[in-house]
Chain A
Amino acid sequence: MPVGGLKLFFLTAVCMVVLAVQAQARLEVDITKGRVDPMPIALPDFIGTTPEESKVGHDLTGVIGANLERSGLFRPLPQSSYIEQITNFGQAPRFGDWRSIQAQALVTGRAILQPDGRLRAEIRLWDIFAQQQVLGLQFVSTPQNWRRIGHQISDVIYKAVTGESGYFDSRVVFIEEQGPKNKRVKRLAIMDQDGHNLRRLTNGNDLVLTPRFSPTSQEITYMSYAGGQPRVYLYNIETRQREIVGVFPNMSFAPRFSPDGQRIVMSLQQGGNSNIYVLDLRSKMIRQLTKMAAIDTAPSFSPTGQQIVFESDRDGSQQIYVMNVDGTAQKRISFGEGRYSTPVWSPRGDHIAFTKLLRGRFSIGVMRPDGSGERILTEGYHNEGPTWSPNGRVIMFFRETRGENGGPALYSVDLTGYNERKVETPGFASDPAWSPLLK
């Protein structure tokens, strides 16, 4: 294992320090409404005293502006419209200049390359109408880590304005697909939530499917056909080590972590049936949770770890069920028209996202954990496999295009069903799974 390669995969921490908070947050975007009026925000390039610092400052504002814009909750104003040029980070802005271009919020910042080689970014968020500073923070990390600083700044701005925690300092693991449909090569891949820093984790020799992030560590669980036996694996992103999760007589598939990261819930095939089991990663003890002559699969823990949602065709077609973590109190919750599958519990606990098949169309929707309040967020020829942003606000999924040359791509949509966006990847991409916020 080359040290350089190892280093690449370590997450360097970003240290955040509060400079000053002079006012209670009065900036507010009401995100409970369906369609949100995005908040006009001004984001001049962060100041630097050297060309290197100015470049970092420019790049940071680029990352932050793109994040905020993509959330659908902010509208970054074009820099060409700015009247005041920010040249002194310590000074209050001329609020009238920003008000006259309709800015409601202003982010000023500066980038400093410290004598110790580290990068420090300082920011202030201003409420233009209240003429007050809302927050002041500084972030320190290695210069190579500048994108993460940008994501963390995006997260604090998002939180200050919406009142909810952000999701920008996170990653997505997915399956990258290449080649013709009947000879598709699939690789495990990981990228930042904005599509940057893409890395391929497997070489494409083995078919790999359904990667899922650990909520507590830099680990992924997924299914691989390595060695001709489809099985569930664990993959450590930092060490690039791979291990089989238990050896069973038949196929194991559809794995997901428990919220504490200590257990994996998955399906084991037994003849024509598939049942749900939970495996303790430390003790290797396994427990059977469902015992039906049916297909029970796609299990997903509630964020409390007390319940599991899954799909089953025990009543004749794919439907969604909830049970206690010990397998008791199994109860169907989907009763609408059509087939329901791939349920995923929101990290906030208040929703379950799913794929719905109705009249040959595939939708992504959400319902309450008791099955009420079903809403379809996107509908079309083929949408599948929802995954939640760490704050439970955004859902990512994949969409297949039709025909011989068709293939999947990743999309995101707001919980309200608005702000659908394509997530750019170099090639075909499927089976996305969002990480928790990085630490």
Chain B
Amino acid sequence: MLREIANLKVIVAFLAALAVAGCSSTNKPNLETAEQSAVPGSERDFIVNVGDRIYFLVDQSTLTPEAQDILRRQAAWLKQYPNVTIQVEGHADERGTREYNIALSARRSTASRNFLVAQGVPAARVSTIAYGKERPVALCDAESCWSQNRRSVTIVTGGAVSG
């Protein structure tokens, strides 16, 4: 289930990239053009080819195997581009109370940050912020949306290649 949603998100990201790529090309877009549209070392490269977000189970901050895979890819990319700094945003779904969700999302962003640092990303390059339930990306009142909101998102804050 989680993997499906994670894959779905990647596809959505691809489609977004395809939509952009489609503007400058009349060719039938395919996966390759999408990947080519992301300049290596750019923010888009990170989002499209690495994956900027991971998902959590209800009221959990444990990193699932899928989440660890994505974070390993993030760490590898960050080691490849040593000037890049990041902020890990923690988020919770709307089915919790305000203060607890702020703390829970701090726990999630910290879990992601600690994993990246353990993979060799210098701690000084990684800040965190906790948004609680304040920044949902999926808006329906069902688990299919809440599972997308229980996330940590790695935002490139500086040092990326432009493009």
Contacts and interface: CB of A to CB of B under 8 A. Distances in A.
Nearest to A360: B95
A341 B133 CA distance: 15
Contacts of A431: 98
A429 to B, nearest CB: 14
B88 to A, nearest CB: 12
Given A181-B136, A251-B106, A267-B103, A384 B130 contact: no
B94 A342 contact: no
A181 B129 contact: no
Nearest to A355: B97
Nearest to A269: B106
A318 interface: yes
A403 B103 contact: no
B137 A182 contact: yes
Given A251-B130, A404-B140, A384 B97 contact: yes
A369 interface: no
A431 B110 CA distance: 26
Interface string A102-146: 000000000000000000000000000000000000000000000
B99 A267 contact: yes
A228 B131 CA distance: 11
Given A228-B129, A355-B97, A182 B139 contact: yes
B106 A341 contact: no
Interface in A212-242: 223, 228-230
Bin the interface of chain B by size: 20 to 34
A269 B103 contact: yes
Interface in B93-115: 94-100, 102-104, 106-107, 110-111, 114
Contacts of B102: 209, 223, 230, 251, 253-254, 297
Interface string A74-110: 0000000000000000000000000000000000000
Interface size class of A (residues with CB under 8 A): 35 or more
B3 interface: no
Contacts of B98: 209-210, 342, 384-385, 431
Contacts of B136: 181-182
Nearest to B59: A317
A244 B107 CA distance: 24
B140 A272 contact: no
A402 interface: yes
Interface of A: 180-182, 184, 186, 207, 209-210, 223, 228-230, 250-251, 253-254, 267, 269, 271-274, 295, 297-298, 311, 313, 317-318, 341-342, 355, 357, 360, 362, 381-382, 384-385, 400, 402-404, 406, 431
